[in-house]
């Protein structure tokens, strides 16, 4: 996390707009919606920061604003060791690698990175194995959680080593049927649910959210619909006032989305029926085998 007002004593970030510290408020602050991806050599992390408010120019700015970093370069030098870019950041190890190999081709850089990651993995594995062989790893008590006196449920679990193939097939088929029923219920709920445009507007503020319905209807169009009293998807499908601000193509987008959900429900109903038939056939077959086995046992008893 990049929180300079907590890391550097008496530090106040400069406003990214007016470049002044005088009216910047560091409390209260709120987290940014989209943390940057912080790329490294052997692992990637998220780099988070907060918004600051300037009471002079009435603007909010983030802790890693380019103008703020440039203005306060003397104060944060030696503290902020990440290379900031738009949408992502690079840590000091990867940045050093890039600058020292900037004359290499992309394929060569990729090859070097693969070898470096593999070598690092082998070094870590060797270190851990050596620690185990040297009895430097403390054995955990499996009956208690680490650092607590709370017992686990491991001693209550019954592990079945051997299981008949027929029972395994029935269990697998029951699990497939339960999964199909759950998927069908979820699809039916989505197909019958009315989507509020205000919820779509709020969710599309966050660019990390994917899979939202009504692709092509963005935040501006949601505002237009809400302004004209069309607050939900089904209300748009029933809208017939003919306002030129609401295009017919918007209704086509919503209708296509609901048609797709209806097709998914149909396919999942078919999938559930097939799972039910398969489970029924397996149970009937096992009953036949069980009856034959009982008859054979009775015959053997009579002959004896």
- pLDDT at position 209: 61
Beta bridge partners, 88, equal 37, 85
What local confidence, expressed as pLDDT, does residue 89 receive? 93
In the block, residue with structure tokens 């086509």: 252
Kindly give, in sequence order, each residue whose CB lies less than 8 Å from that of residue 20, ignoring residues fewer than 6 positions away. Answer: 14, 54, 56, 57
- The pLDDT value given to residue 257: 85
Q: Tell me, yes or no, whether 83 and 112 share the same domain.
A: no
CA 25 to chain centre: 33
Whether 160 maps to a domain, the answer reads no
Split into its structural domains, the chain has a count of: 3
Residues 251 and 278 in one domain: yes
User: Per the structure block, which two tokens stand in for 68?
Assistant: 């703020």
Residue found by looking up tokens 């907590």 in the block: 6
One domain for residues 89 and 8: yes
Other CB atoms within 10 Å distance of the CB of residue 180: 19
User: What global pTM score does this model have?
Assistant: 0.41
Instruction: Determine phi and psi for 47, rounding to 5 degrees.
Output: -110, 115
The answer to whether residue 139 sits within a structural domain is: no
Q: Is residue 146 part of a domain?
A: no
Q: Looking at the structure, do residues 80 and 26 belong to the same domain, yes or no?
A: yes
Tell me, yes or no, whether 177 and 269 share the same domain.
yes
- Domain housing 260: 165-303
pLDDT given at position 159: 45
The verdict on 169 and 288 lying in the same domain is yes
Question: Is residue 140 domain-resident?
Answer: no
CB 10, CB 24: distance < 8 Å: no
- Answer whether residue 289 is part of any domain: yes
The first and second tokens of residue 187, run together, are 């699809």
Indicate whether 121 and 88 sit together in one domain.
no
Domain end call among 96, 122, 148: 96
Q: Are residues 76 and 170 in the same domain?
A: no
Would residue 138 count as lying in a domain?
A: no
3-state SS track over the chain: CECHHHHCCCCCCCCCCCCCCCCEECCCCCECCCCEEEECCCCCEEECEEEEEECCCCEEEECCCHHHHHHCHHHHCCCCCCEEECCEEECHHHHHHHHHCCCCCHHHHHHHHHHHHHHHHHHHHHHHHHHHHCCCCCCCCCCECCCCCCECCHHHCCCCCCCCHHHHHHHHHHHHHHHHHHHHHHHHHHHHCCCEHHHHHHHCCCCCCCCCCCCCCCHHHHHHHHHCCCCEHHHHHCCCCCCCCCCHHHHHHHHHHHHHHHHHHHHHHHHHHHHHHHHHHHHHHHHHHHHHHHHHHHHHHHHC
Give the pLDDT of residue 14: 92
pLDDT, averaged in runs of 10, over the chain (304 residues): 88 91 85 91 91 89 90 88 89 89 88 88 89 77 63 55 65 88 88 81 68 75 81 80 76 84 89 88 78 60 56
Same domain flag for 193 and 250: yes
How far apart are the C-alpha atoms of 111 and 105, rounded to whole Å? 10
């Amino acid at each position: 996390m990049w929180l300079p007002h907590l890391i550097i004593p008496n530090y106040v970030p400069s406003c990214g707009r007016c470049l002044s510290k005088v009216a910047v408020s560091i409390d209260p602050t709120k987290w940014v919606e989209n943390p940057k991806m912080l790329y490294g050599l052997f692992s990637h992390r998220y780099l988070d920061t907060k918004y600051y408010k300037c009471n002079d120019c009435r603007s909010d700015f983030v802790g890693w604003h380019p103008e703020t970093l440039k203005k306060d370069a003397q104060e944060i030098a030696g503290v902020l060791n990440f290379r900031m870019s738009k949408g992502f950041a690079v840590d000091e190890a990867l940045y050093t690698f890039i600058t020292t190999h900037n004359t290499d081709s992309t394929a060569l850089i990729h090859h070097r990175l693969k070898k470096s990651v593999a070598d690092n993995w082998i070094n870590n594995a060797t270190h851990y194995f050596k620690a185990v062989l040297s009895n430097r790893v403390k054995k955990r008590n499996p009956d208690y959680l680490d650092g607590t006196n709370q017992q686990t449920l491991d001693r209550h679990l019954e592990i079945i080593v051997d299981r008949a193939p027929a029972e395994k097939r029935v269990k697998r088929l029951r699990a497939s049927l339960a999964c199909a029923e759950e998927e069908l219920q979820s699809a039916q709920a989505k197909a019958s649910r009315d989507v509020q445009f205000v919820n779509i507007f709020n969710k599309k503020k966050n660019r990390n959210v994917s899979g939202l319905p009504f692709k092509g209807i963005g935040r501006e169009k949601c505002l237009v619909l809400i302004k004209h009293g069309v607050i939900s998807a089904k209300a748009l499908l029933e809208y017939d006032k003919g306002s030129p601000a609401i295009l017919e193509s918007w209704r086509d987008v919503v209708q296509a989305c609901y048609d797709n959900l209806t097709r998914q429900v149909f396919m999942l109903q078919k999938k559930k029926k097939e799972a039910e038939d398969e489970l029924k056939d397996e149970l009937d077959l096992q009953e036949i085998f069980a009856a034959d086995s009982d008859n054979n046992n009775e015959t053997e008893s009579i002959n004896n």
